[in-house]
């Protein structure tokens, strides 16, 4: 199955007078819920849907806590999660403080299995 995409016009914010260029943008084909994922895992393993849901719920508790402790969460071929910050700049290192941190986000780095999938995805242009 192919991933759908469409052409979307975007202007360069630093060159507002220039004409917009068109870029590819993925068009979602829907959502998959936590319960649907648990059912799919259950169908291809010996683990029940309820047990799979319990493991997913546990991950939703322990992964954010590990990130809050400053750890990188490595899940093998699945990938890893870590915190990333955006901050204001300072003229020298001693002047940098936590007050300059403006945004904290979670970064996902795909592992081998994700990378294999992204290297083999087929695309289909839609309007």
pLDDT digits (tens, 9 = 90+) for 59-109: 999 999 999 999 999 999 999 999 999 999 999 999 999 999 999 999 999
Q: Look at residue 7 in the predicted model and tell me its pLDDT.
A: 95
For range 27-36, the mean pLDDT: 95
What DSSP line would sit under 78-117, residue for residue? SEEEEEEEEE---SSGGG--GGGEEEEEEEEEE-HHHHHH
* pLDDT of 1 above 80: no
- d(Cα 108, Cα 113) in Å, to the nearest integer? 13
- Closest by Cα among 101, 61, 95, 63 to 82: 63
Judge contact between 3 and 125, C-beta under 8 A.
no
């Amino acid at each position: 199955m192919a991933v759908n995409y469409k052409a979307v016009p975007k202007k360069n914010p630093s060159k507002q007078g220039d004409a917009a260029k068109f870029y590819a943008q993925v068009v979602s084909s829907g959502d998959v819920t936590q319960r649907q994922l648990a059912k799919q895992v259950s169908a291809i393993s010996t683990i029940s849907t309820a047990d799979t849901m319990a493991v997913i719920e546990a991950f939703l508790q322990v992964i954010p806590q590990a990130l809050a402790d400053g750890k990188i969460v490595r899940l093998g071929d699945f990938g890893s999660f870590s915190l990333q910050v955006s901050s204001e700049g300072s003229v020298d290192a001693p002047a940098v403080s936590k007050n300059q941190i403006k945004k904290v986000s979670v970064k996902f780095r795909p592992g081998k299995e994700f990378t294999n999938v992204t290297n083999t995805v087929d695309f289909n242009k839609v309007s």
